[in-house]
Amino acid sequence: MTSSKLPSRFVRRRQLLLSSAAGLGAAWLPINLHAQVAFDQLLKPATAAQVQAIVDEFLKGASPEEKGMKLEMPALGDNPAAVPVKVVLDLPASDDVYCQELIILAQGNPHPLACRFNFTALAGTTEVAARLRLIETQTIRALARLNDGRVLSAQHHITVTAGGCGM
């Protein structure tokens, strides 16, 4: 049956449905284009100012010491979706001196604060391992705050073969 043989109420209903579908499709087009632009913005690496703000908030005025902590990770991240990172404090833990908080920063990622760990004196040794998703070649930094106010720091540069965050 062609539309000329249909009763007029069916023709009007069909025209209404077609024009509604076309209108909704046209309304969604700018939103989809805007979503793509927003997605591209999400994958931009953090600025140096954003990273420094996180570091300053953690340091609380203390100056970090470059000894007493090891950051173990590969030099080449061949699988950037899961790069193994291990942080070990060389200092012996006791009731008098122990790590209260440890953070790991992936300075080239859109959100640089990758991990945050809290400890008590009952933890014994301070040793954490994690897998990070990295977007580009960058420096990974670990900061540990001890209960006596000292802050330990370690960093390691890693070369990433392909972006992991955009997968």
Per-residue pLDDT tens digits for 81-100: 899 999 999 887 777 889 99
pLDDT tens-digit series, residues 49-71: 999 999 999 999 999 999 999 99
Task: From 98, 97, 47, 103, select the one nearest 71 (Cα to Cα).
Answer: 103
Average of per-residue pLDDT across 93-121: 91
Greater model confidence, 42 or 46: 46
Average pLDDT over residues 1-8: 61
Average the pLDDT over each of 28-37, 80-89, 143-152, 153-162 and give the range with the smallest value.
Answer: 28-37
